[in-house]
Structure 1
Amino acid sequence: MGEHQVGAPTELDKLDAGFRGAGKQWLCIGKAIFWPIILLAQAIWIYFFGCIFAYGKRLGRGVLCGLCVCCNCTYKDKKFPPTHAAIGAWENKSPEQIDREIKWRRIGDIVAAGGKTGAKLFAGKIEPADICQGGLGDCWLMSALACLANQEGAVQQVFLTKEYTNYGRYRIRLWDAPNEKWVTLTIDDWIPCNANTGLPVFAKPNGDEAWVLLLEKAMAKFKGSYAKLDGGSTMWALEALTGDYVFEFRLDPKLNKWQRREMFHRANNTGGFDVLLRLTDDALDGDEMFSTMLFYNRKRSFIAASTGSGSDKDNVNGIVQGHAYAVCNVKLVDRFQLVQLRNPWGTFEWDGAWSDKSPLWEQHPKVKRALDFTPGDDGTFWMEWKDFYSYYKCLDFCIRTTGFDDIAIDLHEERPLCGPTIGCVLGCTRYWLCCLGIRALFFSRKARHFEKPQDGGGCAAC
């Protein structure tokens, strides 16, 4: 995504906007006339052909990849090999130390050692609880992944390889913003593990799911090494994973206002690109900021929060300092302004008002019912906005593109024979009866052009 030019629109800009407006009108007319045909065609493409393609790929992998696995000839990425070169400059260790302390293991072997019968790319519902950060300071990335996991179809869009393969070759799509194009990364499933325990050093698997480990490895290859994931921007991660428009609001303690900044990329002297922020004129007070979060949460955009400066070895009332969190939900119930967050560690939760052990849940049963509250030691918790405001100093937003890409067939990897068929039947049922197709057709959004919303600050998609 290139640098956004700020200034008065030219005549060419106005003409281009006019053409876009006319194009949108004709598109709406076309949808209104041909909607049954469009819905049927999309259902056939997503579910019927998705099922056929899945069986074809499973058959092909069973024959070709089976021979490779039997011959111990599985895929290894020569451009990002399972050696100290992929780890990079980590914790001031020498390459020799890294090779001694790290043993590379395939995901299938890691899962088998944990007592599971077989690894899967996705097992059941994709959710933030699938994510557990390891011994790398990439909470910014884990928070971005938790944001994606909170919205149906978002994680599946990143994967071009749709299910686990014994051959160990996966294709993942990421957005190269400086060059304004999608890039496809091919990675293997060799994961750095502790030489003594055999457990992954960085992101941890949740049961038999592989998607978190593979996305962390893809992002490491994208940046150059695992070590380069140690510290980063959730906003940049969301942009790379989605290709959508991102911005942040940062609290200015002197003004007591949330000021909006846009991200852009500028070429540097080393042949790479620097990620920079540009201050805008938008500045919101506390109530306006909550209304903005509520607005974007309803629009199914991604929101992440960070606590600003400090060490992640310290926590105040369960809130880790210098740490990034995913915002899972924002609700206004009765008079209470509530925000739900998730710590990518999968632990360390807020212990104040509206925490899991707070008596407020029993004192306000209506709120408890409205939020479907169930306590659990999983790193997910609720807190009131006035408390949130005291701890979190930065909010990252990603205006998500929505539409038919959100809808994906669940291949039910645990059922090699009938899984795609089950996914086709259940998917079609939800597509028609739960109006997934109607929503994708008539309530889709392209996150490319923006204007200020009427019911909240910041920017909204046209």
Structure 2
Amino acid sequence: MGPPHVGKQTGYGPELQWQSHPPASLSPDGSHPLSNKYSSRTVGVQIRSLRTGSVVQITDTLVGKEESKATCATVLKAPPQRQAHVAEDLREDQATVCQGRESQPQEICADPQFIVGGATRTDICQGALGDCWLLAAIASLTLNEEILARVVPLDQSFQENYAGIFRFQFWQYGEWVEVVVDDRLPTKDGELLFLHSAEGTEFWSALLEKAYAKINGCYEALSGGATTEGFEDFTGGIAEWYELQKPPPNLFRIIQKALEKGSLLGCSIDQVDSSGSLQKLIRVRNPWGQVEWTGKWGDNCPNWNTVDPEVRERLTVRLEDGEFWMSFGDFLRHYSRLEICNLTPDTLTSDTYKKWKLTKMDGSWRRGSTAGGCRNYPNTFWMNPQYLIKLEEEDEDQEDGEGGCTVLVGLIQKHRRRQRKMGQDMHTIGFGIYELAGQTNIHLGKNFFLTTRARERSDTFINLREVLNRFRLPPGEYILVPSTFEPHKDGDFCVRVFSEKKADYQAVDDKIEANLEEIDAGEDNIDDGFRRLFAQLAGEDAEISAFELQTILRRVLAKRQDIKSDGFSIETCKIMVDMLDSDGSGRLGLKEFYILWTKIQKYQKIYREIDIDRSGTMNSYEMRRALEEAGFRLPCELHQVIVARFADDELIIDFDNFVRCLVRLETLFKIFKQLDPEDTGTIQLDLISWLCFSVL
């Protein structure tokens, strides 16, 4: 997969481009300070070498000058799980394994084992699949036994209670899902084709990869991705990242606070007094054990001689192979990216950690109704889903004496990998945050966004599964608008907001209302001219049927140049007759026809006024305003249904479908009102009543 696509949003934020980085500087002896043979990444923190592209782990120890260990091996409490047991085998894309076959572990080696002596880095070797991002996240699991035990239940084997199936658990958009796979694995020439262990006898990692491929649709769907995606699916946390060429000025404090909250950084930081000056240090761990820093503050660096012996002993006594200290400045210079995985409150049971407050909101973009695109499309941007965020309490720990509320906002698009085999891929997504002067529970309209700049926004619109940013906002009320870069893109998403203090969040949507005008059809309101017209149209029986109504309205619309229409369908005419037929005759009398005629004139006026481009038709995005003009306020979910029902493939709603929609809505509201005279908002229906209303 090539570099992510980054969208430029006009008037919304600077253009962000995919950048290539210069090589890192060399150590005094001319060698690179990081002698790296193996590529690796870890849970929580990922640091990528500028020169080699390798990644190493930051491990856990001290915060500031405190001696209490801020370990990432936290006690985990699993939330309720949604069972997703599926018996059938995962069938990977035929093109991927066309030269191989499926084999059980017993066919590959004489004594297959699920896991031996715990998970280690040697259990993770990449095969023919381009999913190194996933392998990096899996390698992270080997550093934390509690998290590994949740994702990979260890009470499984090829001997005791063996049934040829294995189970795994993944976080999927707010739920823990159990996935069951059989143990047939793709092989070629008797060897595993994809992920495998170095010894060739342990199979937990290969089966884990298969289970993850299953939940994403196929093996091929795993090609290309971000390590943070795996972090989140293995922990349920929210992963943020920082480009270290342009780090935020408070990055050192961000790492400190992340450790205080039990985040999976695998990272430790400290400050030591070296010859009278305070040095910020960070300890890095490579889970492969093959990387050592040979620059300042490395294992054998003479700088340690300038530190108090007691402090030096405390910081270096437990260093293992692959662990080393380096200055925070060198850390920023030699690595390009830092990733932190913040855990959800339910994961941390220890009271020693300051826990995030979490809110998750689900939503969807639907072509023609709620997929409005970014601010480059002002006519449709306001149609996107909107969420109200209320921040009331400032953080306890104020940075630089400035008040504010820290929030992490993450926008995830759902199930896009699973849809790759259908020719679809990740959308380019992002979000904006707008400050409100006062509280509102009404979906904000076009004028608000034309006159209001975003207070904050995602750094970029990009085609990754998740876009996330950290913000510091003053207490107040804000509107969050998630969107795709271009309009008319279908998709489901969830928004997660982590805050240090409790905050309120809710979807902003219109309440269901129908302010319908009552038309007086009394004798005094019907003039003689209309009576003569009705007598001429109705004939001797003085009533108009649905078929006669169709002929009448076709003649009327044929004379209109401002509305493109082929007339009304017989279905629409029947619906109009049913709405006003008070005596059940299936025909309209004088008063009933007068009411209908008045309504149609009103509908024509609305249709013409909403048609701003004078095309003679109505775009589906204009339908929301048209419904409001007709007296209806409806939530986004219902607008999605209306567009799906009444718009054509080009998202055009002609006059016939417009009238049919209004008539059906009015009829349904009136029926509900009759069945709910006390205005409770609920009704009870028996089967026959439900069927009668459903065929309206």
The two structures have a TM-score, normalised by structure 2, of 0.34
Which has the larger share of helix? 1
